[in-house]
Amino acid sequence: MNLRTRLFYIFSGTLMSFGIWISLLFHTDPTYADILTWLAFMASLLLTIAGFFGLIIFYIKVSFFNNELVYILLPSSFRQSLEIGLAVVGILSMQAIKVLGWWEAGLYILVLILLELFFQTKPQNQLSHTKQLKKIKDPTGQVPRYSLLRQR
């Protein structure tokens, strides 16, 4: 599946989840809603935020990296947008069950920031794999097919 197809599916899923979220927002009464309606509302909000910010972060990264290795930027963009969505939905959920305070929100955001820093410093991303593949060559100049599997 190429990049344009993936972006189309992500955009379509974002529009669909936005439509579900708007429908739940205008057609349900939050005082009489059951737990399933509340979970559907939060899940559709999470998918809407993740899709919207994922596309925005991806296009910002593409403009900064000048269209080099564009397909590698997609997973990290959507991981970061999912963390933004988890922050919003998590804080709204804590507020809904009346346990939200400054300390809880701050610790929750700190955990999400530390999670992102963990993913940023993890050496097993695709860019490091391509650098390792370029370093490991056989005498003919060809990159061995399973060089990464043998190295581990």
Quote the pLDDT of residue 30: 81
Place of tokens 């060559």: 137
- Helices 70-96 and 35-64: crossing angle in degrees, nearest 10, is 150
Domain ranges for the chain: 3-121, 127-152
Quote the pLDDT of residue 1: 80
| CB contact at 8 A, 91 and 108 | yes
Quote the pLDDT of residue 150: 43
Q: Supply the DSSP symbol for 30.
A: T
Quote the pLDDT of residue 142: 56
Candidates 107, 105, 57, 103; CA nearest to 82 is 57
- Helices 102-121 and 70-96: crossing angle in degrees, nearest 10, is 160
Vertex 66: Cα angle to 55 and 47 (nearest 5)? 10
Residues written for the chain:
152
Candidates 148, 91, 93, 88; CA nearest to 123 is 148
pLDDT in 10s for each residue of the chain, 152 residues: 888 999 999 999 999 999 999 999 999 988 888 999 999 999 999 999 999 999 999 999 988 877 677 888 889 999 999 999 999 999 999 999 999 899 999 999 999 999 999 998 877 555 554 554 445 455 565 544 444 444 44
Place of tokens 């820093």: 117
What string of DSSP letters covers 56-112?
HHHHHHHHHTTTSSHHHHHHHHHHHHHHHHHHHHHHHHHHHTT---HHHHHHHHHHH
